[in-house]
Chains A and B, each alone.
Chain A
Amino acid sequence: MQRKNIIIILPLVFALGLSLILLDSVSAQWRTQNIPSSAKDTDLSLSPSKGSDDAPVEIAVFSCFE
């Protein structure tokens, strides 16, 4: 009986975990593509930066000093 429960529960837990990962990934992608205007106002050119302005890759790092 206990073994039967494990056989049923394990795939469910796996499926739930997989769904959460997928949901998180889709949500992150959606958020990146649909930034609201209040947040879009952030002009990254005013942020402190290092490196070439023409660089093809921009790495922006959210940092906390403490």
Chain B
Amino acid sequence: MLEKYPDQVKLIFLSFPLRNHRFAKKAAIAAFAAKKQGKFWEYHDRLFENVDSLNDQKFLQIARELNLDMERFEKDMNDLKIVARINQDIRLGGYLGVRATPTVLINGSVSRARTPEALQSDVERELERAKKEVNRKGKG
């Protein structure tokens, strides 16, 4: 979607570690610890590549492979501010009725799209709406 609409779409990551997944929350914390060193998306991609083998050792291994400052990374893995940030996302998701992932919000509204095609159609509808809004303001 970003490749197709590079200037018109912004993608935001929200954490929603599912409770029945043992390492999900720790993985989110690790990704945010990597964010502090500017490597969130690289770490994010590596987590999804290793989705079936996540554990404490794997978090450190990925950090090492991405050449993160390990001392800082391990310290940030215990950063309560990161945990609080993730908990805020969970609270927001809980309130919006998120039960599974991925759940997508388009301009703040939960999308019911279940396929990439349906998502694209939702995004195009929203782009059209934004365009009309700009035109309306231009005329007004």
Contacts and interface: CB of A to CB of B under 8 A. Distances in A.
A64 B91 contact: no
Contact of B95 (A31, A50, A60): A31
Nearest to B93: A62
Contacts of B91: 38-39, 42
Interface of A is mostly: mixed
Interface of B is mostly: mixed
Interface residues of B, number: 59
A57 B24 contact: no
Interface string A41-59: 1101011111111111111
Given A28-B97, A31-B96, A47-B89, A59 B11 contact: yes
Interface string B82-109: 0001001101111111100111111111
Contacts of B48: 65
Given A35-B95, A50-B2, A66-B51, A60 B14 contact: yes
Interface of B: 1-2, 5-18, 21-24, 27-28, 31-32, 35, 40-41, 44, 47-48, 51, 54, 85, 88-89, 91-98, 101-110, 123, 126-127, 130-131, 134
- Top 3 closest pairs, chain A to chain B, by CB: A56-B130, A65-B27, A66-B21
Given A57-B130, A64-B17, 17 more contacts: A29-B109, A31-B97, A39-B91, A42-B92, A47-B14, A48-B13, A50-B11, A52-B8, A56-B126, A56-B131, A57-B8, A58-B9, A59-B123, A61-B104, A62-B93, A62-B103, A65-B24
